Structure 1
Amino acid sequence: MNEEWRDVIGHVGQYEVSNFGRVRSIPRTRNTADGRLVRYVGKMLVLQSDTKGYRQVSLLRKTRRVHVLVLEAFSGPRPIGMVARHLNGDVNDNSIGNLAWGTPSENMYDTVRHGSHVYARRTCCPRCGNAFDEANTYVTTTGARKCRQCTRSALREYKRQQRAASPKKAPKTHCINGHEFTPENTFTRSRPRGGRGCRKCQSEANARRYQRRKATLS
């Protein structure tokens, strides 16, 4: 690919940016306020890196990021709500083939795919320290990784708090038919139903079944 130069948007006739991500000034003259003629020699500008590693350049005492200049010159103005994306994850590669406008969500997924996202680089859970391996990790619908052990511990703690906050029910003193649960009138049901049973209710139910059977046989 041959290097192509285009005017920097907002600095036409002053600066140019190439499709390789280089920036240069254009030879030009300018009349000063006192009537003097100043000549500017064109030169290649020195690029610096900001705190995030993006290459930037100073244009008329105003700092601009190089990848934004390349996109504006070769892909058009920034669409509303869009950000500049580095498709291969290398912030120093400002060639037009590596750049594209995209949504903030697409840009965030790029960092996850490239392994440069702060959470994607984690190899263990920050809470319990267990490794993010296949057995201890599950992925949510939003693509986030979660620790299974921490999730289970949080669920157990939540249930414990719910039990502690809910008032305990007082044990029943009478059955649904009004018979008192005395030691003589109470028996324990066999599993799986379990629980206490009323002997009087059981006797009355047996008597009704006996009467129905007697009436059927007669």
Structure 2
Amino acid sequence: MNEVWKNIPHYENWYQISNMGRVKSLTRKHRFGYSKKIKILQPFPNHKGYLRVDLRKDGQRDCRQIHRLVLEAFVSLCPERMECRHLDGNPQNNRLDNLMWGTRSENQQDRIVHGTSNNGLTYN
């Protein structure tokens, strides 16, 4: 799969995300005259293992989950009452072909199938 980059909604001309789940900041001029060059951001996991990045714009910091950014840029903004599904059960696989919007029920069924449900039961 070739890597394709798209603007992150609400962060156009600031950040882009790829169909492979990588985030980069774009070249831009700062008020003091120096330029900030393109840079691939280093993601960090939350307590459940989902990867996040800090986006900054106009002095504000926004910590965003990468899987949502991929779907929002390549598919659509999150439909009402939907959440992101990782089709292979790996919360760090943020490739577009592994993600889709789904209901909470569908996401819970995925967790049962993948053995990652936190209901105290183990599935093999």
How does the TM-score come out when normalised to structure 2? 0.91
Partner of 1:85: 85
What secondary structure, in the 3-state scheme, does the structure 2 residue paired with 1:37 have? coil
Partner of 2:122: 121
Q: Which amino acid aligns with 1:55?
A: L
Q: Which amino acid aligns with 1:47?
A: P
Partner of 1:95: 95
Q: Percent identity?
A: 39
Partner of 2:75: 75
**Structure 2: stretches of 5+ with no match in the other structure:** none
2:23–2:40 CA contact under 8 A, matched in 1? yes
Q: Which amino acid aligns with 2:115?
A: G
Partner of 1:55: 51
- Which structure: greater helix fraction? 1
Give, in whole Å, the separation in 2 of the partners of 1:82 and 1:91. 17
Give, in whole Å, the separation in 1 of the partners of 2:106 and 2:85. 8
**Structure 1: stretches of 5+ with no match in the other structure:** 124-218
Aligned CA RMSD, in angstroms, stands at 1.4
Partner of 2:36: 40
> Between Structure 1 and Structure 2, how many residues are aligned?
119
What secondary structure, in the 3-state scheme, does the structure 1 residue paired with 2:30 have? strand
Give, in whole Å, the separation in 2 of the partners of 1:10 and 1:67. 16
Report the CA distance between 1:101 and its aligned residue: 0.3
Instruction: Point out the structure with max Rg over C-alpha.
Output: 1
Give, in whole Å, the separation in 2 of the partners of 1:117 and 1:26. 38
2:113–2:123 CA contact under 8 A, matched in 1? no
- Which structure: greater strand fraction? 2
Report the CA distance between 1:30 and its aligned residue: 3.3
Partner of 1:184: none
Partner of 1:157: none
Q: Which has the higher contact order (CA 8 A, sep 6+)?
A: 2
